[in-house]
Structure 1
Amino acid sequence: MKIIIAGCGEVGSHLAKLLSREEQDITVVDEDTTKLAILDSNYNLLTVQGRPTSFKTLRQAGVEGCDLFIAVTPFETRNIVACAIARSLGAEKTVARVDNFEFKDPDNRNFFASIGTDDLIYPEYLAALEIITALKHNWVRHWFELHDGELILVGVKLRDGAPLIGKLLKDLGRTIHDFHVAAIKRNHETIIPRGDDKLLSNDIVYFMTTREHVDNLIPLCGKIERRIHDVIIMGGSRIARQLCQMAGDKFNFKILDP
């Protein structure tokens, strides 16, 4: 997949690093030659120096044939304009980073699509969503919902005493259970499991299951789900404000800030 990333800041650089490791065809556009040089010398990608809102620059980056154009500069208006230009030049799909949560309102989606922006990223919203998920499902390391929440993928670290420790996957297959072991992370290695693999203490095990059966994993992994009521947040940042707004009265928040 050919992906063009406009903006070489913290978000753009992180995206470029992740996607380049997946052997995608990545091009990064930015005005800062120093930042581009660091990426160019350390990762398998192309860089183009220039303004992301320049027709000439985007043509030079090859936007006419790209599958995905992502604009993540620090300025939301620049990102939206860059997406509009990219779409007009032939980009298949465009995504813009914004700083206004109102833009994420579903009622406004058609407007942004009409001017060439297919989707919007609001980092503070995503961060707040991750925090709420971690508070609600505090017994897991990772929680992903697939197919509109019909399938749940959770990553759980097995501690000493968990009933699953020492079990061979082929033995689990002979019992009645409502989950599938999709992967095992052991130290720095990711294992795609087979029947002869054994679950060990400190493994992070990724289970695939359905929503109605996900709680059955709690005792099997030796976990206890604790109901969190009181939360202290260090810093009254935009993420903190977004978190309080989204969570409503589910938690008692206290924000500490000078």
Structure 2
Amino acid sequence: MKIVIAGSGEVGTHLAKLLSNEEQDITVVDSDGEKLSMLDSNYNLLTFKGSPTSFSTLRQAGVEDCDLFIAVTPFETRNIIACAIAKSLGASKTVARIDNYEFKDPANHDFFVHIGADDMIYPEYLAAIEIIQALRHNWVRHWFELHNGELILVGVKLRDNAPLKGMQLKELGMTEHSFHVAAIKRNHETIIPGGHDRLEVNDIVYFMTTREHVDSLVALCGKTQRKIRDVLIMGGSRIAIRLCAMAGDEFNFKIMDMDRDRCLVLSEKCPDATIINADARDTDALLDAGITDM
């Protein structure tokens, strides 16, 4: 697959590393030659110096016949314009990084598709979803929902008291159960299991099941499900703001930030959260925030 990435910042660099390791045909476009040199010398990809919103730059980068164009510069307007240009030049699919949650609204999807941005990536939104899932399902390491949530894939670390400990999968197949063991991660090695593989303590086991049966895995893995209500967030980042907005009143959030002006902004954007103007390294401030009661 031929992929062109516009932007060599943290997100663009991370994507380029991952995709180059998968032996995809990657080209990274950016106006910062120093960042491109680092990528070019360390990874199996091509780089092109120039503006991601330049028709001539994108033509020379080979956008006309690319399968995927991803714009992840720090500026959402530039990303959307870059996608519009790439689409007009012939890119099969375009994706833009954005910072505005309103752009993710399904009601606005057709508008952005019309101008050439097929899909949107909102990193703060994705991070907030991950955090909410981790708070809701704190007994799992990984939680993935497939087919609109009809299938659930969870990665769970087996405790020493897990009833599944020491069981071979062929033995498990003789019992009545409502899940499938899809993979086992053991000592940094991923195992696609067969009937003779045995589940061991500290394995991270990936189970595929349905939503109505996922809770049955808690006890089988030696875990307990805790109901979390009080959450202390260190730093009033955009992720913290999006998290408070998306979680509603499901959790009691306290946000600690040492910047007084930032705290004033947080009090407006997160009206239901308790805002604490203090240094997170201050032990007394943490005690005053009630961290011992969480």
Structure 2 residue matching 1:120: 3-state secondary structure: strand
The residue number in structure 2 matching 1:153 is 153
Which segment drifts farther, 167-176 or 243-252? 167-176
User: Given the alignment of the two structures, is residue 67 of structure 1 paired with residue 95 of structure 2, yes or no?
Assistant: no
The residue number in structure 2 matching 1:133 is 133
Runs of 4+ in 1 over 3 A off after TM superposition: none
**Equivalent-residue separation in structure 1 for 2:52 and 2:257 (angstroms):** 36
**Equivalent-residue separation in structure 2 for 1:134 and 1:144 (angstroms):** 11
**Equivalent-residue separation in structure 2 for 1:166 and 1:4 (angstroms):** 47
Higher relative contact order (CA 8 A, sep 6+): 1
User: Given the alignment of the two structures, is residue 182 of structure 1 paired with residue 182 of structure 2, yes or no?
Assistant: yes
User: Given the alignment of the two structures, is residue 114 of structure 1 paired with residue 114 of structure 2, yes or no?
Assistant: yes
| Count of aligned positions | 258
CA drift of 1:42 comes to 1.6
Letter in 1 for 2:23: E
Structure 2 residue matching 1:171: 3-state secondary structure: helix
The residue number in structure 1 matching 2:192 is 192
The residue number in structure 1 matching 2:167 is 167
Structure 1 residue matching 2:161: 3-state secondary structure: coil
Which runs of 5 or more structure 2 residues have no equivalent in the other structure? 259-294
What RMSD in Å do the two structures reach over aligned CA positions? 0.9
**Equivalent-residue separation in structure 1 for 2:37 and 2:186 (angstroms):** 35
**Equivalent-residue separation in structure 1 for 2:22 and 2:102 (angstroms):** 33
Which runs of 5 or more structure 1 residues have no equivalent in the other structure? none
**Equivalent-residue separation in structure 2 for 1:255 and 1:157 (angstroms):** 30
The residue number in structure 2 matching 1:81 is 81
CA drift of 1:257 comes to 1.0
Which segment drifts farther, 16-25 or 92-101? 16-25
The residue number in structure 2 matching 1:44 is 44
**Equivalent-residue separation in structure 2 for 1:156 and 1:23 (angstroms):** 30
Give TM-score, length-normalised by structure 1: 0.98
**Equivalent-residue separation in structure 2 for 1:45 and 1:200 (angstroms):** 40
Which segment drifts farther, 26-35 or 222-231? 26-35
Question: What percent identity do the matched residue pairs reach?
Answer: 78
**Equivalent-residue separation in structure 1 for 2:10 and 2:89 (angstroms):** 26
**Equivalent-residue separation in structure 2 for 1:169 and 1:38 (angstroms):** 46
